[in-house]
A = this chain, B = another copy of it.
Amino acid sequence: MGIREVAKRAKVSIATVSRAMNSPETVDPQTAERVRKAVAELNYFPDSHARSLVSGRSRILGLIVSDITNPFFPELVKGFEDVALRHGYEIIIGSTNYESSRMALCVRRMLERKVEGVAIMTSEMEQHLIEQLVRRNIPSVFLDVGTVRPLVSNIEVDYASGIQEAVRHLLQLGHTRIGFISGPLGLKSARIRRRAFLGCLEGAGTLEEKDLVRESDHTIDGGLEAMSRLLELPHVPTAVLASNDLTAIGAMRAVRSRGLTVPGDVSVIGFDDIHFAAFTEPPLTTVSLSRWELAETAFGALMKHVEQRDPEKAVRGAKYTVSPVLVMRQSTASPATRLPLSAVT
């Protein structure tokens, strides 16, 4: 079941078989057909390793994520797998588990398998690893980290616009005391989101109240904890924006555990729109960051480099922007809705 048997059966040379498969237009239709037939009968397909070896193109892309168990990633992985497959690429994925030693291992694996590009969707990345990739001429795309340069592109999430949408929504609803629960401020993307929130309030002329902005850790428990403290304040916020959905879920839980309701007593908005967000109780209003779009963008960025095979004139990396969008569900409402209740009391 090698190319030779196909050649024999089609009564041509192996070179012709190869051509018939890779550039059918360069071979006589009659012969091509004979080859096609032989291929089908033998159920032949070329050995991708041999092919990679000789052609220098592995048709493999790498995807590195921090933890596929984190609900943000599976859809990204799926999206990336889909685009890649559609374009004839295989992908190999690697999880860093947030450890930089594992990250180094991942890069190494990618290098060994001769990937043609790597999408690195983690929130940290060490400079020297990028160096390794660049030196070996492997294009890469990052998410929110990294700076554009030859062979490395960057996808920036327009957090500001997404968060602005969310804040505006809350403002429109009539909220004036809006809290924010950030992610770990060690993460660049968490800092950006926090900044964006603060910027929005300023822009709206609403006074920023230090008390209402808390740092947390992007987990349900963290959100619960942070929200609990917020609820102990003399002037409880009527709405809270969370840095991600998990935090928001924790926050909702904190609200409810105090005997209050979402959105009756406090509105909650998340960020990411993980699959589960649509199934919380109440369904979570959140700023959706499309994993599908992220995947497409990352793939596109890689392709731009891959297609320019000449390493001499490597196309320089580019900056891409993807904009999250607010999806309204049922965790937000006008603060007025609970006034009647208080009035009754």
Contacts and interface: CB of A to CB of B under 8 A. Distances in A.
Interface stretch (A88-96, A139-147, A332-340): A88-96
Given A53-B49, A69-B75, A281-B253, A92 B90 contact: yes
A279 to B, nearest CB: 5
Nearest to A108: B45
A112 interface: yes
Q: Which of A68, A85, A91 has the most CB of B within 10 A?
A: A68
Interface string A256-285: 100000000000000000011001010000
Given A53-B53, A68-B74, A220 B279 contact: yes
B69 A275 contact: yes
Contacts of A132: 43
A88 to B, nearest CB: 10
Interface string A109-138: 101111000000000000000001000000
B58 A68 contact: no
Q: How many chain copies does the complex carry?
A: 2
A319 B71 CA distance: 32
Interface in A50-81: 50, 52-53, 58, 67-69, 71, 73-75, 77-78, 81
B48 A112 contact: yes
Nearest to A291: B69
A93 B93 contact: yes
Given A92-B92, A249-B279, A113 B48 contact: yes
Interface string A11-36: 00000000000000000000000000
A98 to B, nearest CB: 13
A46 interface: yes
A310 interface: no
B81 A109 contact: no
A45 B112 CA distance: 7
Nearest to A67: B78
Contacts of A47: 53, 112, 114
Contact of A112 (B46, B78, B113): B46
A78 B96 CA distance: 11
Nearest to A132: B43
Nearest to A73: B74
B74 A69 contact: yes
Contact of A114 (B49, B58, B78, B92): B49
B95 A113 contact: no
A45 B220 contact: no
Contacts of A58: 49
Contacts of A93: 81, 93
A78 B69 contact: yes
What are the 9 A-B residue pairs with the smallest beta carbon separation, nearest first?
A49-B52, A49-B49, A49-B53, A48-B112, A68-B74, A69-B74, A220-B279, A74-B74, A50-B53
Interface of A: 43, 45-50, 52-53, 58, 67-69, 71, 73-75, 77-78, 81, 85, 90-95, 105, 108-109, 111-114, 132, 220, 249, 253, 256, 275-276, 279, 281
16 contacts: A45-B111, A48-B112, A48-B114, A49-B52, A49-B114, A69-B75, A69-B78, A71-B71, A81-B94, A90-B113, A92-B92, A93-B93, A249-B279, A253-B281, A256-B281, A276-B276
